[in-house]
Amino acid sequence: MRPLPLEGHYGQQVPTDLCAHCRLVWFDEFESVRLSGLGWVRLLREMQAAAGSGSATPAAAPACPRCSSALAPVHNLTRFGHFAALECPRRHGHLQSFSLLLAERGLVRPLSHGDLLALAREKREPTCLNCGAGLSGGMERCSHCDSPLVVIDMPRLMEALLMRHAEALPAAAGQQFGWPCRGCGAPVDPIRSTRCVSCQHPVVVPSVLDLRPVLDAVEPLLRAALPRAARPHGEKLRKLHGDHRATSAHRFWRFLRDGQESVSATGWLMLAGAAVLTWLYLR
pLDDT band at residue 185, thresholds of 50, 70 and 90? confident
Average pLDDT across the chain, whole number: 83
Residue ranges of alpha helices (H) inside 56-133 are: 98-104, 113-121
Q: Is the pLDDT of residue 261 over 60?
A: no
What was the pLDDT predicted at 47? 93
Q: What is the pLDDT of residues 79-90, one digit of tens each?
A: 777 788 889 988
Under 8 Å CB-to-CB from 123, ≥6 apart: which residues?
none
pTM to 2 decimals? 0.74
List the domain boundaries for the chain: 2-224
pLDDT band at residue 189, thresholds of 50, 70 and 90? confident
- Minimum mean pLDDT among 186-190, 235-239, 268-272: which range? 235-239
Who has greater pLDDT, 234 or 142? 142
Q: What is the pLDDT of residues 234-255, one digit of tens each?
A: 777 777 777 777 777 777 777 6
Cα separation, 237 vs 44, in Å, equals 45
What was the pLDDT predicted at 263? 53
Cα separation, 90 vs 111, in Å, equals 35
